[in-house]
Amino acid sequence: MADPKLPSIPAIDKSIDKNIRSIIEPVREILLALTNGENPAVRMQSLTDAGIINGNKGPSIIPPDSSDFTAPPAPTGLTADGALSNIILTWDATSYNNLAFTEIWRADSNNFSDAEKVGAAADGATVYVDNVNHTGTWFYWIRYVSVAGVEGPFNGQNGTEGETGANPAALLELLTGEPTSPYFGQYPYFIITTPTTINGVPVPVGVYIQDAFIANGAITNAKIGTAAIDDAKIANLSAGKITAGDIDAARMSANIVAAATGKFGTLSALSSYLGTIEIGSGGYLRTAGVVSYAGGVGVWMGEDNGLYKFRVGDPAGNNMTWDGVNLNIKGGGIFSGALSAASGTFAGALVAATGTFSGALSAATGTFTGALSAASGTFTGSLSAASGTFSGNLTAQSITTDNIIGNAVTQCLGAQGYSVPSVSVTFNSTGRPCLIMARITTFNYSSDGPPDYGGGFLLPVYFELSGGGMTPIEEHFTLGSFNEYTPSRFTRYQPPVGIVTFTASMWYESLGGPLYTTSQVGTYDLEIIVVEFKR
């Protein structure tokens, strides 16, 4: 019900201009919500008359007589509706009879930690108008506070979103000026009240844009005096002159088209220059610096001496050419798929997944991840392939044998020495397993034994197999007079990659004295064999 102390708000006369009426009507609705209805806004005098506040103190809330400290319940039904510069909050009425007021909290994001209290509504009110003064989106939370000052829980964890609205008609009126206004140039829109002519074209009465910047527009009919357009799709254009950065057209007809860059579905010309590329009337295409099929660094393709040819690169350096008969690559070639040719000559490396040559294949080097098949082949460098078939001869400076079927190729090395303290084998290990074997043949032809041995007949001998980082294999034994002994030692060992050395050693021992020499006691023969298995 309306407050009898307030004057009534009359209805808006429909004869008022619609632009003005679009501003007044939302204002009238807000005032009606604040002054009547089921939940009107409460005036300070009403709170004073009800004994809730003391108007003589500034105002201040009159301390309650109640000692009820029960916490209020959580509010329900909060909504936030936007006006031009206000957010109107409404919520459900509550049956809680110890309510003093409702706190209003606001944030510019849906995060309560950023919220701040912006106002309060008296105990029975279920509406609050938040004057935000500008366009934006806001989030709200509310809670009840009891007469005893006890704060209840908020209505929810997530905020209720409200967004100010914009009345198009009102905004248009604010942004539009008449040509007679002294501030006419400051308005983005202007009004033409009488028919006029612009650039010979009749222009009717209406609202027009002073300066327009259109990112994406679809215009049925336009008459433009001067235009700067970033992107335009024009079905039919007739112009004496066009100055443009980029023109995208399915078809273009013109006497002369001069452009830094261009893209055409169909281009018809006697000759043309596209950047550094020249398309000549003689039936060729070439880049700048190329004077003929055989002259200049760059690209050339076309007809030459009755043959269609192609070249890319430096004639004096790396290049690829098609001379009308053969394809020649100088510098190297890489094929991810299959390479098939009657014959081929490569001055550099040839790399392909697979290859088939009915004639001869010649290259400096070659690598094939798949199969290589050729009648014959010559490689001055190395040839690597997953598999290969040659009906003729294959000649290569080196061949990688790691992938030969059956692991048939091994590396076998050996060394032998007579009456020497040790023999060794040194090689470049690929890190693959090795079989290492060592043997000694020794003979004791002394009947008396060395003097420092006390005239005995037994000869102590030390034998060792070592090297390549493995743990040495040792043996100690004794020989009687005129006895011969031939022990052997072998092991399987996988050395590291790189240069490794394996050694077989022996010597005669003494008990606390120097080593015996062969002239004193006997003779011996040492052997070592290393077999490296390829995989």
Domains defined for the chain, CATH in brackets: 18-168 (2.60.40.10), 178-212 (no CATH), 326-400 (no CATH), 410-533 (2.60.120.1310)
Tokens of 338: 């299959």
CA dihedral 386, 390, 395, 397 (to 10 degrees): 0
Looking at residues 307-312, what average pLDDT do you find? 88
Looking at per-residue pLDDT, the higher value among 153 and 4 belongs to 153
- With 0-12 / 13-18 / 19 or more C-beta atoms within 10 angstroms meaning exposed / middle / buried, residue 224 is exposed
pLDDT tier at 141, thresholds 50, 70, 90: very high
Task: Count the alpha carbons within 13 Å of 523 in the hemisphere toward its beta carbon.
Answer: 3
The confidence score (pLDDT) of residue 106 equals: 95
**Does residue 17 have a pLDDT over 90?**
no
pLDDT digit string (tens) for 163-216? 987 655 555 565 666 666 655 666 677 677 788 886 677 888 777 776 767 777
531/186: higher pLDDT: 531
With a cut of 50, say whether residue 274 has pLDDT above it.
Answer: yes
User: Percent of the chain scored above 90 by pLDDT?
Assistant: 20
Q: What is the pLDDT of residue 120?
A: 94
Say what the pLDDT of residue 112 is: 92
Q: What is the mean pLDDT of the chain?
A: 76
Q: Which helix (H) or strand (E) holds 375?
A: strand 344-390
* 518: pLDDT strictly greater than 50: no
- Burial grade of 479 (CB within 10 A; 0-12, 13-18, 19 or more): buried
Please give the C-alpha separations between residue 524 and each of 69, 87, 254, 488, in angstroms, as whole numbers. 112, 111, 102, 13
Token reading at 299? 């690209």
- DSSP3 helix / strand / coil % (the chain, rounded to 5): 10, 45, 45
Cβ(225)–Cβ(198) under 8 Å? yes
Average pLDDT over residues 338-362: 75
Q: Write out pLDDT tens, residues 53-94.
A: 555 545 555 554 556 888 999 999 999 998 777 899 999 999
Which residues have a Cβ under 8 Å from the Cβ of 527 and sit 6 or more positions away?
A: 414, 415, 416, 417, 423, 438, 439, 440, 504
Mean pLDDT score, 430-443: 87
| Tokens at 229, concatenated | 């357009």
Per residue in 403-425, pLDDT (tens digit) is 555 445 677 888 887 777 889 99
**pLDDT above 70: residue 296:** yes
The pLDDT of residue 418 is 78
Examine the pLDDT at 31 and tell me if it is beyond 50. yes
C-alpha distances in angstroms, 527 versus 7, 465, 466? 127, 11, 13
Q: Is the pLDDT of residue 513 over 50?
A: no
Average pLDDT over residues 213-222: 70
The predicted pLDDT at position 451 comes to: 45
Q: What is the CA radius of gyration of the chain?
A: 52
Residue 262 in this model has a pLDDT that exceeds 80: no
Measured in degrees and rounded to the nearest 5, phi and psi for residue 525 equal: -135, 130
User: How does pLDDT run across 351-390, given as a tens digit for each residue?
Assistant: 777 777 777 777 777 777 777 777 777 777 777 777 777 7
pLDDT digits (tens, 9 = 90+) for 46-55: 666 655 555 5
Give the rounded percent of residues in the chain with a pLDDT score beyond 70: 68
Q: Would you tell me the crossing angle of helices 18-35 and 168-175 to the nearest 10 degrees?
A: 130
- pLDDT score recorded for residue 117: 95
Please tell me the distance from the alpha carbon of residue 428 to that of residue 426, in angstroms, as a whole number.
Answer: 7
Integer CA distances (angstroms), 414 to 279, 408, 429, 471, in order: 70, 19, 15, 20
Query: Residue 159: its pLDDT value, please?
Result: 94
Q: What is the pLDDT of residue 270?
A: 65
Q: What is the DSSP letter of 451?
A: G
Confidence of residue 153 (pLDDT cuts 50, 70, 90): very high
At residue 441, does pLDDT exceed 50?
A: yes
Higher pLDDT, 153 or 134: 153
SS3 call for 519: helix
